[in-house]
Structure 1
Amino acid sequence: MLEQAALSPPPLIGPRSAETFGRARRVFPDGTTRVTIERDPIPRYMHHGESAFLVDVDGRRLLDLNGNFTTLIHGHAFPPVIKAVTHQLRSGCCFANPTEIEIALAELLCARIPHLDRIRFVNTGTEAVMFAIKAARAFTGRPAIAKIEGAYHGAYDWVEVSQAATPQTWGDPEHPAPTLHYRGMPRAVLDDVVILRFNNAEGARRLITEHAARLAAVLVDPMPSRGGLISPTPDFVSAIQETARRHGILVISDEVLNLRQGYEGASALYGLAPDLFALGKIIGGGLPIGAIGGRSEVMAVFDAASGRPALPQGGTFSANPLSMAAGLAAMEALDRAAFDHLERLGDKLRIGLERIIARHGAPLSVTGAASLFRLHPRRKPPREFRETFLTPREVAVMTELTRFFATEGIVLPNAAAACLSTPMDEDDIALVANVFDRFLNQRASLLDTIKG
């Protein structure tokens, strides 16, 4: 067992957070409304955000590397978004009728992202993925999908399969076993999900071909966050795309998170030409949003102009004008110069972290691209999901890393994608690097507990 003395005390959680959590436990099942909320040992409650920083209810200011799970690419309270939403709020927050502003945001996205001919707005990334899969089924007449082991695509039974597979459940490397995600999940769902291993090109070709007759789509996250934040190899991208095309299977690119990799998104960076996209997060400017988009002939399944469409889709708050206004303001500000700025900062930080690791000889590694990065308690970066599975000692190291950053005034996600935002500058990058350097200096004995 790990020596308790090797661990630092929990980061300062002020009395107001403690009091607030006490209230929350009386109305929420576990005191929160999202399973993703980090607690050590309780959540830190936030009062407000300002630019790249958060201020908690006890007045503590922290550099935010979470960005509401990579959503806030412009940081908090971005002035153009505040202005746009305030203006729209005075005109009304939602209507049963369409508005001009939804067309403006759709025009921007369709003009910017290759292969995005038509688009539909929904309210979350989960909805975007769900309706993209339904669109693929409606277009092909087939029920099944293939997805990457360990990849997160929201809360829809079929995409939750093997989202949290373990060495005890994930099965044969050549034929990964589809695994249930929650107690009571219908086992029948497993029959319509084929599991692929990330960057295993030959395995992807073989499994897609083997199940081709019933596959509607291959669902791909170009760089799965929970799968390690690893870039796809060209061979893997080609294997998926070419095999799917050969068998009339659609390719869905889930860029809910990874659209932030570049001006045209992640698929364009990695040579993927999807039939459908699932979008979200940054396109809403900090307000709830999701979108399904893709080739005109596929998106025609939503067309209700001549009666009932092949795929009916609606939602009370879909394309609500507040999200549309916020999203348009945020995306207009995300010009090529903004992406170049984020790329420079991201490269500088990842290179800096790698140099610090090398100098200390620490059993850690860095993955990521553009404005995203993730630290791993392994000397060699993982190549796929199975190599990201952590031992109890490695979990303790990552918990301590997040805890140490919190005590130094930085929010660092635990074993997940961290992100930069446009208000950040080189001083912020230097701060992150310096805190990481101090962690390696002060926690050397803890790092010695893992082999890496």
Structure 2
Amino acid sequence: MNNGTCSSITGIARVGRNSADSFARARRVFPDGTSRVTIDRDPVPLYIERGVGSYLFDVDGRRFLDLNGNFTALIHGHAFAPIVEALTDQLQRGSCFANPTKSEIELAELLCSRIPQVERVRFVNTGTEAVLFAIKAARAITGRSKIAKLEGAYHGAYDWSEVSLTATPHNWGDPTAPSSTAFYHGMPASVLDEVVVLRFNDVEGARRLLSMHARNLAAVILDPMPSRGGLIAPKSEFMVAVQETARDRGILVIADEVLNLRQSIRGASARYGLVPDLVTMGKIIGGGLPIGAIGGREDLMKVFDASAGDPLLPQGGTFSANPLSMTAGLAAMRHLDSAAFSYLEMLGNIVRDGISRVISNRGAPLCVTGAASLFRLHPIAQIPNDYRDAYPAPAGATVMRQLTRFFAENGIFLPHGAAASMSTPMTRADAELIIDVFARFLDRHQEMLDAIQVRR
């Protein structure tokens, strides 16, 4: 049984013998057999041999329609020819230098021309770094230390942005004043004291809490449609409340578009009426390579300006703006024109509408959220309003695990508890397949679905 890494013979059969063997090897060199806590395992991970277009092929030779896209980063799918060609050319000329290259200027020009409020850009290596430096910039500009963030929203692996990421009914506190909860054992109490937690779509709560803490608040960071928070659409009045209060109180607004930039050619903020001071970007702008970026108004981005000596906020990095990421990102974004975004939105609409129709026809206690090329399924009958509404009861969590498993058994890699995403190589037939597999899942698991309504 390979050092106990598989819980049963059935489990080995489900993931494939080669994946099971790979995981047994991995457990001898990684603390839990992986290098990312976000890796799904049932009971072991699927090990991938290659990706082509919208498909993944595992080490056991099985093919999966990829709805994960490396956590939504691969908007053109796998091995997209223009990216491969651009990278091949760049690799022959060098992978990284201590000096700048033209490709970083070209990618920055593209972003500044598309994304509202982005007049200047600074490149880093990950979305986490983008958020980290945006928060630091807000502190340097305002002279304040606290931030406000949404309960359940993911903004990368920076202590302050991780507060209340995994809040539960046992610790999330008063619905009108959410507690700041620790993400990991040992998170300093001082960090918790410096984060004000807001509930998504709570209009009055946002006004009250931002006003109450305004004197010490440097910024409020807001994902226009938090993936981990449920991929729920924002209420327009919530967006207005946050922005009006922030402007009145001198609090900067940071839009985290690391994931949701894929919602339109201008990003998600423009879609939902958010006019941020700073914007964090990543994922799709790297063409499948590591990348992050902070953008914003020229006057605010001067916080990074070192032309006259020491900047207010020093920022560097050995691989920041490396030519491979810049080249791949430029190729990816150049092929994301208005037609590409319209096509992706069309596919997303087909899937969301089809799933909603199946749910309605069968009277199933599930719902689907999302927008553009993104969707997420929930084991509740009504569209959730925020993270607390979307938090699954035990019976619902079981259904979602079974749903992910059923999709895998039918050749589709569906993320567990996160956003699923469409990519440009996908077709209408792929969208219809997703709907069909979902319908078959409902037909075969009626007793489990009934348990949601009984136990919630």
- Give TM-score, length-normalised by structure 1: 0.97
2:35 equivalent to 1:33: yes
CA distance in 2, matches of 1:10, 1:356: 32
Residues 92-147 of structure 1: CA deviation (Å, up to 9, x unaligned): 00000000000000000000001000000000000000000000000111101000
Pairing of 1:116-135 with structure 2 (within 5 A): 116-135=118-137
Q: Is this contact kept in 2: 1:51–1:74, CA < 8 A? A: yes
CA distance in 2, matches of 1:58, 1:357: 34
Q: Is this contact kept in 2: 1:228–1:388, CA < 8 A? A: yes
Within the candidate set 281, 284, 290, 2:283 is matched to 281
Match of 1:199 in 2: 201
Pairing of 1:376-391 with structure 2 (within 5 A): 376-391=378-393
Q: 1:373 to 1:69 in 2, by over 3 A?
A: same
Shift of 1:55: 0.3
Where in structure 1 do 4 or more consecutive aligned residues deviate above 4 Å?
A: 8-11
Match of 1:411 in 2: 413
Q: Is this contact kept in 2: 1:25–1:32, CA < 8 A? A: yes
Match of 2:295 in 1: 293
Shift of 1:175: 0.9
Shift of 1:388: 1.4
Q: Is this contact kept in 2: 1:10–1:40, CA < 8 A? A: no
Match of 1:442 in 2: 444
Match of 2:163 in 1: 161
CA distance in 2, matches of 1:167, 1:443: 27
Listed as ranges, the gaps of 5+ residues in structure 2 are: 1-9
Q: Is this contact kept in 2: 1:11–1:40, CA < 8 A? A: no
CA distance in 1, matches of 2:108, 2:274: 21
CA distance in 1, matches of 2:170, 2:49: 42
2:196 equivalent to 1:222: no
Within the candidate set 144, 147, 150, 2:146 is matched to 144
Match of 2:5 in 1: none
Match of 1:108 in 2: 110
Residues 209-259 of structure 1: CA deviation (Å, up to 9, x unaligned): 111110000000000001110011110000011110011110000000000
For 2:43, give the aligned amino acid: P
Match of 1:239 in 2: 241
Tell me whether 383-392 or 86-95 shows the greater mean CA deviation.
383-392
Q: Is this contact kept in 2: 1:129–1:254, CA < 8 A? A: yes
CA distance in 2, matches of 1:284, 1:388: 30
Q: 1:344 to 1:360 in 2, by over 3 A?
A: same
For 2:294, give the aligned amino acid: I
Q: Is this contact kept in 1: 2:12–2:20, CA < 8 A? A: no
Shift of 1:12: 2.1
Identical amino acids, percent of aligned pairs: 64
For 2:20, give the aligned amino acid: A
The count of corresponding residues between Structure 1 and Structure 2 is 445
Q: Is this contact kept in 2: 1:352–1:433, CA < 8 A? A: yes
CA distance in 2, matches of 1:434, 1:148: 35
Shift of 1:10: 7.8
Within the candidate set 349, 354, 366, 1:364 is matched to 366
Listed as ranges, the gaps of 5+ residues in structure 1 are: 1-7
Within the candidate set 338, 341, 344, 2:343 is matched to 341
CA distance in 1, matches of 2:13, 2:182: 35
CA distance in 1, matches of 2:452, 2:187: 35
For 1:183, give the aligned amino acid: H
Match of 1:91 in 2: 93
Residue 14 of structure 2 aligns to a residue in which SS? coil
